[in-house]
Amino acid sequence: NAGVTQTPKFRVLKTGQSMTLLCAQDMNHEYMYWYRQDPGMGLRLIHYSVGEGTTAKGEVPDGYNVSRLKKQNFLLGLESAAPSQTSVYFCASRDAGFFSPSSYEQYFGPGTRLTVT
Partner 1 sequence: GQSLEQPSEVTAVEGAIVQINCTYQTSGFYGLSWYQQHDGGAPTFLSYNALDGLEETGRFSSFLSRSDSYGYLLLQELQMKDSASYFCAVDGANNLFFGTGTRLTVIP
Q: Of these, 17, 65, 73, 107, which contacts partner 1 (CB under 8 A)?
A: 107
Which one of the spans 20-28, 35-43, 64-72, 79-87 is the region binding partner 1 (CB under 8 A)? 35-43
Q: How far, in Å, CA of 73 to CA of 53, rounded?
A: 11
Which one of the spans 7-15, 19-27, 68-76, 105-113 is the region binding partner 1 (CB under 8 A)? 105-113
CB neighbour class for 98 (10 Å; exposed up to 12, middle 13-18, buried from 19): exposed
Whether a cis peptide bond, with omega within 30° of 0, leads into 39 is: no
Q: List the interface residues with partner 1, window 47-66 (CB under 8 A).
A: 48, 50, 56, 58-59
The DSSP secondary structure of 68-84, one letter per residue, reads: -SSTTEEEEEESS--GG
Which one of the spans 21-29, 65-73, 78-86, 106-114 is the region binding partner 1 (CB under 8 A)? 106-114
Q: Angle CA(6)–CA(80)–CA(112) in degrees, nearest 5?
A: 20
Enumerate binding residues for partner 1 (CB under 8 A).
31, 33, 35, 40-45, 48, 50, 56, 58-59, 90, 92, 101-102, 104-111
